[in-house]
Each structure stands twice: as structure tokens, then as C-alpha cells.
Structure 1
Amino acid sequence: MKLILTFLAILMAQTSWADTLVPVRTIRAKQIISAEDLAYKSVDIAGAFSDPADVVGQEARVSLYAGRPVRPGDIGPPAIVERNDLVTLKFRRGGLLIATEGRSLGRGSEGEIIRAMNLSSRTTISGRISADGSIEVR
């Protein structure tokens, strides 16, 4: 019994408690996170955020519940293209640029790959979202 208590004392002495960011209220998916939505909680969670600068202004990808740590997969940059938005589809090869109108079939932020439909041909394609909201087709 004394050995177990000694082991537990050593284990607890080596455990480092860090301040982890947790929501103070439930944040629904697709909502932008503000500084007022966050608080610190002393818990030891690997991979959880501890710096508010990494979280504020990001969009919740899933529902975030009060008191639970915020992890990298739970948030991301805000979406700039919504489902059913009219978008410009761009194809570039060398000096050639072909642009046409399309409809997004998903939502996403800059750099993400989503599907879209070319409105002229009704063909479904995949492309990467650009900063201006257009979709680069490859």
C-alpha cells in the first residue's frame, strides 16, 4: 500500500496542469468565436488550445460545449463560400485562363477543396477555394 501511495505522489508531482481554453457557453457549428465566448480552465489536455489568439475569429466546425476544451479539429477559418452560392470557376494553364459561372455544392474557406457545378455544361467538378471566393479548377 505504501508503494502505491509513493507512486501516486510521484505521478502527481510530475503532472503539469496548464490553462486550457474552454467555451463559457455552447457555441453552435458555423458560429464565429469571440473573446467573450472563452475562459481558462486548469486541466491537462494534450493538443487543446491555451492561447486565445489561436481561437478568436475562427469558426466552430462542430458544436463546442461549455467547459470542454477546444481542440484544433473543432475550429477552422470562417467559410467564404456557402452552399448554393454562385461562384466563378477558373481554369489556368500557362497563360490561358478560362472562367465561367458555377454553383457551389458545399461550403468552405480559403484553400479547401469543394465540389461545384458548371452552370453551362451541368458538369460537377472539384476545385480549391481562392481568397476572392472563386474556385480554381484543376
Structure 2
Amino acid sequence: MRLLVLLAVLGGALPVVADADILVATRSVRGQTILGPGDVAVVAGEAVGTLVAPEEAIGQEARVNLYAGRPIRIGDVGPPAIIERNQIVTLRYQSRGLSIAADARALDRAGVGDALRVMNLASRNTVTGFVAPDGSVVVGASLKP
């Protein structure tokens, strides 16, 4: 039996877990806070789905509360929000030379490139689009700005 386990490990059938560096919060950070160099540290450890380099988190916004000493997961941080909930934004549809713009109300907070649900103020219909760098929300054929 020991021979079978050894062969399985050497043959690559079983995953071998190696120690790696992970990124942890150095202090408790509230959600919606922009992370700075003093907020994160690299420590030895292993965890799947976590950030590994400070550059991945510095300048990003905490999407959830981060706690001191706990690993920072990939979904815990993201681009800083440029649109706040209930903010009036420009809703744009563009396709083959056709461009339509309307006012809409943001139904959540979002940063550049994030998917965002908005309500068209004229029709009261709710649609999902992507936040463009200029703060507008793009929907339709060219989904990503």
C-alpha cells in the first residue's frame, strides 16, 4: 500500500501542497477603504484563491471588511468605486454607428470595468452594463468599454 501511495505522489496523481507566500491584512480595514502599503504584508503560508503580492492590493478598494492577520482573497479587493449607489449616470448603447444615451440611476457601487445594474429613468427598465472610465455605463453589442 505504501508503494502505491509513493508511486501516486511521484507520478503526479496526488497534488503536492507547497508552502507559498500569501498576502494578509496588517490591521482591520473597513470595506470601501483604499488599501495602502501599510495595510498589507506578505507572510509564509498556503491558501487557495488569495493574493500573493502587495502590488495586487495596494491602491485597490476593500470590498469587504479585512481582518488583521487573515489572508486577502481575490474577491476581497477591486478597483475603487467611481459610481455610488443612487447616483445618476449616463447609460450608453453603441452598435455599428448607432449611439443612444439616456439618464439612469445606479443600483449599486461600482468601479471601472465592473458590471452594474442601472434603472433607465425614462422607461423604468433595469439593465446591466459595464462601467466605462468616464463614469458612464455601457450596454448592448459592445458590452465592455
Q: Give the TM bin, normalised by the shorter chain.
A: 0.7 to 0.9
Q: Cα gap change, 1:16/1:133 in structure 2, threshold over 3 Å: closer, same or farther?
A: same
Partner of 1:124: 126
Please give the TM-score of this superposition, normalised by the length of structure 1: 0.81
Tell me which residue corresponds to 2:72: 70
**Structure 2 match to 1:26:** 28
Q: Structure 1, unaligned stretches of length 5 or more?
A: 1-13
Unmatched tracts of structure 2, length 5 or more: 1-15, 141-145
Aligned sequence identity (%): 46
Q: Deviation of residue 68 (structure 1)? A: 0.6
Distance (Å, rounded) in 2 between the aligned partners of 1:123 and 1:48: 37
* TM-score computed with the length of structure 2 as normaliser: 0.77
Question: What count of residue pairs does the alignment treat as equivalent?
Answer: 126
Cα gap change, 1:119 to 1:34, in 2 (>3 Å): same
- Counterparts of 1:76-91 in structure 2, within 5 Å, are 76-91=78-93
Map 1:13-52; keep pairs closer than 5 Å.
16-52=18-54
Equivalent of 2:117 in 115, 118, 124: 115
Relative distance call for 1:48 and 1:133 in structure 2 (3 A) is: same
Equivalent-residue separation in structure 1 for 2:138 and 2:55 (angstroms): 30
